Structures are given as structure tokens and as C-alpha cells.
Structure 1
Amino acid sequence: MTLMYMIYDFLWADLLTIPLPNGGSLGLSLLVLILVPAGIYFTIRSRFLQIRLFPEMLRMTLEKKASNDKNSLSGLQALIVSTATRVGMGNLAGVVSAISMGGAGAVFWMWVSALAGSATAYIEATLAQLYKEKDPLYGGFRGGPARYIHVFAARKRGKDPQKMRYSVVAVLFALSGLICWCGISQVIGNSVSSSMENAFGLPPMTTAILLTAVSAVIVLRKNATVKVLDVIVPIMAGCFFFVTLVIIFKNIALLPSVFQRIFAEAFGMRQIAGGTIGAVIMNGVKRGLFSNEAGSGSAPCAAAAADVDHPAKGGLLQAFGVFVDTIVICSCTAMIMLLVPEELLTGLTGMDLLQTAMHFHFGEIGVIFIAVTLLLFAFSTFLGVLFYARSNVAYLFGDNWPSQTAYKLLALVMLFIGCLAAYTFVWDLGDVGIGLMTIFNMLVLLPMSKEALACLKEYEGMIKAKK
């Protein structure tokens, strides 16, 4: 346990502290020091693909599968799976935390981190597409960081990737992912049971039984996960977006002042003078980076499954996913909070703050809406991470149903336990898992990025040729 917390501090605690005027400071963790410069580098190298090719990303969501394989996923379906995990509790509790600790200005820095993260998401998803392989168990395709890390390691050793069984870094990535997703399962269970108890008075045991039973019916069937997510994700994201639009239109006169507050606090002299500008920046950056998960290696597990006719398409769709997660959904949560008089939210933290904001907008119905939204966000995240786990389990234990089923059962047990009690050790273990995934993924992402950039250049050449 001591070793685990040492790793936790190494990944998440401030590794570098930059002093700021009036006693403030800017604390930079190892993961921020890796992800932010990488995102900026990929953005420059790709010539701001997230802006230049945004219309192309939108067009791709309408494309059909490249083949007639009934078990493969279209680019849009792969995007929905990755969105299911990105659009999770971080979009609610994470944004609330960022604004609580960093003020409205944190929203601006969330947007900035999302722009940089879009380029990183393109690189890792395109590499997943380049090195995807047929899935003999579920059908269609599979892949992700464990696969392209393995290929990279084999090349360095001068070996054939098909003849080399394991790569140490790929094994460590796969194990970190499985640890992370087990931890997330418990966090999901606890968050859902708490919200159901607060909103409906439902006992945790009842929530545990119902949630675990419904999840088991879906995840233990061969390909039911994607079909369920195809329905849940568009509905939950669409409803949340629609409700936010209603709130915005009801308070349209306040909108200019909200944006003025966001930009003023992002660069404000008051924050600099008060020594809090570092908290404003870092809360926004951290929440943005770890809400959209760009660079962690999670989303490429879904990106590899996309049945598209060019690898760059899979990458561009995942870059669009970062936009949906942070620029759209996280901004919705921010608007719900910032369109409430500040004095009503003073002293509140966490979900109490968001529920109070929704109560201001819609009364008791607003509180119930947030509880149901959290349930759907969390449930879709659970289904999504178990989809991600498929390729990691296969890499570690081979292609067999016993290992696939065993991991699903483990995740279901963690979900059940999480509904009944919160174990902070398991939660921290999940954070360690995603931190290590990011480290192992980025070790290979930087040297292999030229392949993804070459794919982008080739794809843009194809677009120009068609025109």
C-alpha cells in the first residue's frame, strides 16, 4: 500500500512549482508536464488539425462501415463507445470541482486543454487504426496501445511482432488499464448509489442489486454492449445538452456577463493579485485533460474497432470526441452553475453544488434530473471500460472466453461493492492505473507520431484529389 501511494504522489502531486506574484504558485504534476507539451507539439505538427479539419470530422460521423462485416463497428459507433467513457462523472463532478477550486476562469483553461488534447487523441487513435487486428472472439477489429506498443518494441529488437509474444511496456500498459477500470467500476457504483439515495431514498443494497443485475445481462452477452451504448449515449448527451440550452435561453440576458467572468477570471488581475491564478489555470487544465482522457490510451481501444477505409478517419473521429466531451458537455455543466447567483452556491462543494444549481433552475425536478443523468453517465462509462478491457485481456491472457468472462465478473463484483461502501484505496488505485497508462502510452506515442502525421498528410492529399 505504501508503494502504491508513493507512485500516486509521483504521478499526481506537484513535481515542479513555479512561483507567481503575491505569493501564488503554479504547481505542475508529472502528467501535466507530459500531456500539455505533447498536445501543443502534436497541434503544431498537425497544423491545428482540430480547427482546420473540423468540418471533415462532422462529415465522417455520417459515413457507413467500410465493409459488410456485421460484427465490426462503424466510425460513429467507435466514437459512441469512447464518448460513453469520456462523458462520465468527470463531466459533472469534475467540472464542479474545477470551478469550486479555480473559479469560472478554470472553464477557459479546460477549453484550452481540450484543443491541445484533440491533437493527442488523433495521434493515438490513428496508431490504433494502423495496427488493429481481427478479433477472433467478438468479430470485427481490436487493438489499442498494448498492440502498437508491442509493434514498436518488436521493431526495436529487430523481431517480427507476430512471433514475439510479449513486450514488457505493453504488458505494463495492459495491466495498468485493467487495474484502472476495476477502480473506476467501484467509483461508479458508489456515485450511483449515493445519487439514488439522495434523490429517491433508494437503499444502497437495492441499487447494488439492480445496477449489477442489469449490467451483467448486458456485458455477459457477446456483443450487446455496443448496441446498448448506441441508444444510451446519444439520448443522455442530447438531453443534457437540450436542458442546458433551455437554461441558457431562460437566462440569455446573463450570458454576456458569464463569458466576461470566465475570461476575466482566466486572466484576471484580481486572481494574480490574490495569488490564485495558479489554481485557476491548473484546475482547468487538469480537469480538461482527465475528462477527455487524451493521451491516457483508453479511447484508442475503441478507435481500433472502427471499420473505416483510412486510418486517419478513425483518428479524426476521436479528435472530435474530445470536442464533444469538453467543449460541449463540460461547458454545459459550467453554464448550469455559472447562470446561478454566486451567493446561492457559496460554501457548497461537489454534487451538492450542482444539485443546488439545478434546483434553482427547475426545482425538485432539476435535482432528480441530475441524479438520473449521473446514473446514465456512470452506467455508460462502466459499459465502455469493459469494451476497452477486451483487447487488454486478450493481450495478457490470449484469445479465450474464460479470461474475458473472469474480468467482467471481477468488474461486476467491484461495481456491487462500490454501491455499498467507498474504499478510497481502490479509488486511488484507479488513479494510479490511469496515470501509469498515460506514462506507458506516451513513451511510444511520441516516437511513433510521425506515422500518424504521415497518415494525415496522405488523407488530406486524397481529399484534395477528390475536389
Structure 2
Amino acid sequence: MEILAQIRGIVDQVNNLLWGKNILVVLLIGAAILATLGTRFMQFRLLGPILSVFTNEEKKENGISSLETFFLGTACRVGAGNIAGVVAAITVGGPGSLFWMWLVALFGASTSFIESTLAVIYREKDRDGKYIGGTPWIIRKKLKMGWLGSIYAVASILCYVGVTQVMSNSVTESVSSAYNIKQSWIAIILTVIVGLIIFGKGKRDRIIDALNKIVPVMAGLYLGVVLYIILTNISSIPAMIGSIFSQAFGTKEIAGGAMGVIIMQGVRRGLFSNEAGSGNSNYAAAVVDIDQPAKQGMVQALGVFVDTLLVCSATAFVVLLAGAKKVAGVEGMMLNGKELSGMALFQEAIKTHIGFVGLPFTVIVIFFFSLSTILAVAYYGKNAINYISEKTSLNIAYQIAIIYMVYIGGIKQNIFVWSLADFGLGIMTVINIICLSPLAKEALAELRKYEIFLKEESRELKEQRKRVREQVKD
């Protein structure tokens, strides 16, 4: 018990240092600004190519395509936190927080580009001939510090075990509170579903196949309903946008000393949601069957846009368009005469827009978001384990641990395990930024190569069209 108490103390101290003192926020913002300058604002200059990275891409028979890695990365980024976390941000910081979330995503996309490009450059093949890699491989192959790569891999596993518990608890609590069903029964069902997917048989990776189906459905369902909400509240959009920008830079907020709270809530939520700079997406980027590292970097940059600019914005719009207003001095928002916060605020906002179906809709969304994240971290952790040891038994043990945590987390929330997730992610981010920043030049060189390729491709396309026009004239 004394040893456990000491471990808890160390974890809490590290979390207070990295998260409480905003050290990670400073590191991530600094990395994002440097990456943006280094790539010459590639996320804006090359927005067209970024949005078309999947054009004419063929489905891989055995390897993993860019689209599949996009679904994998999106599954890990987009979770229950995209609802609860965003609601918490605007509850504390008001609508202005959303602007700073957008800004973080726009700059953070370049960070994700650089780290994901490096992951492809330094990946390798496992004994089955499939690509594998991530931040630990970059550290070992380029910096010759395999021990530090192992620390990163262990931190990854701690993070993913904690995330699994949090996501599982989000599902069981949402269903239990909505329909008064015992959490233990819901936990058993969720555990069986995850176990069948992880250990099910198939020609290709079952997790990848499952995410190929889940991610488009969950994104389409959520964004489709939000689009309906926007269209039915179209007259309120200008006032909402005005509120977001006015409170992001408002003189009232500056005079009242609330400006720092608004900025930090938006910045922290944006950074923690899209994970650019943590190296998480490197596990997904490295496994793609592709010959152009920069193209895969663009795939992950697009993932940052989707996570924050689309999904996080969608959550904020639902709450703000329902008429929820921040009240000074209150750690909540007023909606329909009630002071609400967190998931209760989101559910009430949804019901305001779409009536009684709002409650089951919220439950379904939380289920899909959480399940996809659990499966993604199960896949990421499998790669982290492979870095430490390629023993099949160790990997199976990790998958069993994930399934076990689904059940344990579903029954009851464990604050210490949640702290482990923050601890693991914090250590990952510090190692990733410090180690990969000096290697950014290699990613920038790949970017230049890809830009030349795009110009040549565009030139060839123009010449082809010209020849077709000439043939038509003749």
C-alpha cells in the first residue's frame, strides 16, 4: 500500500507540473508555431492537396491505405472528450474559447504533418512483412537512444490503458443515466463487443476493418444532425459567430481579467483534443502502405482539422445555438432556466433542438465515439508493445488487459487510472517534441519533394487535357 501511495504521489506531482503549470501548452504552442513557419504555412498553401490526399487511391489488399490510417487516427482523436471536453471549455471560458481552439488546430496541423512524415521515413517492417513504426522507432533509428524509445512506448501503454477506462465509463454512465440500466450489464456487453473485434478472425486486421465501418458512420451521424441543427437555426448563426469572436477579443473580458481564462480553455482543449505534438498519430502514420512520406503527413494534418474544426465545433454549436449563456461567476451555463454543465448541458441542448430523440441520440454518439477510441488505442498499444518485444504472448497480454479495463472502467470510474492517462500522454508529448523538433528538416525536405511532384503532376494533367482538346478539334 505504501508503494502504491508513492506511485500515486509521483504521478500527481508530474501531472501538476506538466498540466497544471501549462508546461505542455507552452511546448505544444511553440512546436506548432515553429512547424508552421518551417513549412511556410503548408496547411494554408496546400489546403487543396491536403483535402484531396485520398483521390484515386486504390484499396490495399494486404497493406493499409491512407484512408484507413485516417480513420485510425480520427478514431483515436475523436472520443467522448470531443463532447464533454468542449462543453467544459465553453462552460468555463465562454464562446470565445472556441476561437482559440480553431487557432490551435490551424497551427497544430503543421506539427502533425512533421511528426507523421518522420514516422513514415523511419518505419520498418515486422516479421510478417507489414510496416510498423512511430516515435520510438524514430528515436532509436535516428537518435540511437533505444532506451528513451522504450520509455515513450511504456508511457503510451499507460496512457492507452487509462483512456480505455475513461471511454468505457463514458459509455456505461451515459446509458445507465438515460435508461436506468445497471452499469455492470452495459460493461459486460461492451467488453464482449471489444473482445470479439480484437480477437476475431479475418484476412486483414479486424480493428482496422471495424474502424473503416465505425468512423464514417459516427462522423456522418453526428455531423448530419448538427448540420440539421445549423440549418434550422440559420438566423441565429451570425449572432453566434459574433459572440465567439467578440468574446475571444472582447474588451469586457480583458477589463474583467477573464481573457486569460478564455484563451487557456480554448488552447488546452484544442491541443488535448487533436493530439498534434504528442506523437500518438505516428503509430497510425507509420503503418500506411505508401511511398511518399509527405503525403501521409498531409493525411494526419487533415485529421487535426476534422477533429477540431469539424467535430469540436459541432459540439460547441449545438450548445450555443440552444441559447446556453455563460453567467459571470458561475461554473456552468444557463439553458432553459437551469444551470447546467458537462454532459447534462449537452443533452439538454440536444433535446432543445430535436426533442425527445435527443437522449437516445446522445447515447449512440457517445457509444460510437468511445468504442472507436478504445479500438484505436488497442491498435496503437499493440505497436508500442512490439517495440519493446515482438513476443506474441506479450501482445496478447496487452489486448487482454485492454478488454479487462473496458469491463473495470465500465463498472466504476477510477480516478488514479484516469491520472495515469494524463501522466502517460504528458511524458509522450515531452519526449516527442524534444526529440523530433531537431529532425524537422528531414520532413521539410520531403515536403519540398512532394511539392515538386504535385507541380509535375499538375503540368502533366494540363498537357493531357491540351492533347484531348486538340484531338477533339481534329
TM-score (norm 2): 0.90
Structure 1 residues 380-459: aligned runs within 5 Å: 380-397=372-389, 399-459=390-450
- Cα RMSD between the aligned structures? 1.3
- Preserved CA contact (<8 Å) 2:382 2:398: no
The 5-angstrom pairing of residues 339-418 of structure 1 reads: 339-342=321-324, 343-344=334-335, 347-397=339-389, 399-418=390-409
SS at the partner of 1:347? strand
Q: Of 264, 271, 287, which residue of structure 1 is paired with 2:246?
A: 264
Equivalent residue, structure 1, for 2:189? 210
1:225: which partner in 2?
A: 207
The answer as to whether partners of 1:54 and 1:320 remain within 8 angstroms in 2 is no
Partners of 1:391 and 1:13 in 2: CA distance:
30
- Does residue 105 of structure 2 align to residue 98 of structure 1? no
Q: Which residue does the alignment assign to 1:3?
A: 10
Give the distance between the partners of 2:83 and 2:45, measured in 1 at CA: 29
Q: Match of 1:62, as an amino acid? A: T
Superposed, which structure 2 residues align to 1:303-342 within 5 Å? 303-342=285-324
- Counterparts of 1:114-125 in structure 2, within 5 Å, are 114-125=105-116
Pick the aligned partner of 2:27 from 22, 34, 37. 34
Deviation at residue 64 of structure 1 after TM alignment: 2.3
**Is the deviation greater in 213-222 or in 376-385?**
213-222
Percent identity between the aligned chains? 40
User: Aligned equivalents of 2:143 and 2:40: distance in 1?
Assistant: 29
Say if 2:50 is the partner of 1:50.
no
CA distance in 1, matches of 2:180, 2:196: 25
- CA positional deviation for 1:132: 1.3
Q: CA deviation at 1:249?
A: 0.6
Q: C-alpha offsets along residues 221-244 of structure 1, whole Å, 9 cap, x if unaligned?
A: 361101110011011001111101
Cα deviation for residue 90 of structure 1 reads: 1.8
Tell me which structure has the larger Cα radius of gyration.
2
* 1:69, distance to aligned residue in structure 2 (A): 6.0
| Secondary structure class of the residue paired with 1:92 | helix
The answer as to whether partners of 1:180 and 1:430 remain within 8 angstroms in 2 is: yes
The CA deviation at 1:367 is: 1.5
8 Å Cα contact 2:382-2:399 kept in structure 1: no
1:82/1:384 contact within 8 Å kept:
yes
SS in 2 for 1:62: coil
Moved over 6 A (4+): none
Quote the residue 1:197 is aligned against: 176
**Alpha-carbon shift at residue 309 of structure 1 (Å):** 2.3
1:236-275 equivalences under 5 Å are 236-275=218-257
Q: Residue 172 of structure 1: which of 151, 167, 171 is its match?
A: 151
The corresponding residue for 2:138 is 148
Corresponding residue for residue 160 of structure 1: none
The offset of 1:152, in angstroms, is 2.4
Equivalent residue letter for 2:178:
A
Determine the C-alpha separation between the residues in 2 that align with 1:408 and 1:314.
Answer: 27
Code of the residue aligned with 2:313 in structure 1: it is S
Using the TM superposition, give the Cα deviation of residue 465 of structure 1 relative to its aligned residue in structure 2, in angstroms: 2.3
| Amino acid of the structure 1 residue aligned with 2:292 | H
Alignment of 1:66-81 (within 5 A): 70-81=61-72
Closer/same/farther in 2, CA of residues 268 and 69 from structure 1, 3 Å limit: closer
Aligned equivalents of 2:314, 2:14: Cα separation in 1: 34
Task: State how many pairs are aligned.
Answer: 438
Cα deviation for residue 63 of structure 1 reads 3.9
Instruction: Find the aligned partners of 2:234 and 2:196 in 1 and give their Cα distance.
Output: 44
Structure 1: which amino acid aligns with 2:240? V
State the Cα distance separating 1:3 from its structure 2 match. 1.1
Q: Distance in 2 between matches of 1:192 and 1:416?
A: 11
Report the counterpart of residue 276 of structure 1 in structure 2: 258
| 1:171-212 Cα shifts (integer Å, max 9, x gaps) | 110000000000011101111100011222221111111000
CA distance in 1, matches of 2:344, 2:293: 43
Letter in 2 for 1:299: S
| 1:12 equivalent in alignment to 2:4 | no
Q: Distance in 1 between matches of 2:198 and 2:123?
A: 23
Match of 1:82 among 68, 73, 85: 73
Rounded Cα–Cα distance in structure 2 between residues aligned with 1:114 and 1:242: 22
Deviations 1:259-288 (A, max 9, x none): 000000000011111111111000000000
- Structure 1: how far apart are the matches of 2:74 and 2:130? 19
Q: Residue type matched to 1:379 in 2?
A: L
The amino acid of 1:119's aligned partner reads S
Secondary structure in 2 aligned to 1:260?
helix
Partner amino acid for 2:46?
A: L
Q: TM-score, normalised by structure 1?
A: 0.92
Native 8 Å contact 2:102 2:270 kept in 1 = yes
Q: Is the 8 Å Cα contact of residues 73 and 140 (structure 1) preserved in structure 2?
A: no
Gaps of 5+ in 1: 15-28, 155-165
Measured after TM superposition, the shift of residue 454 of structure 1 is: 0.6
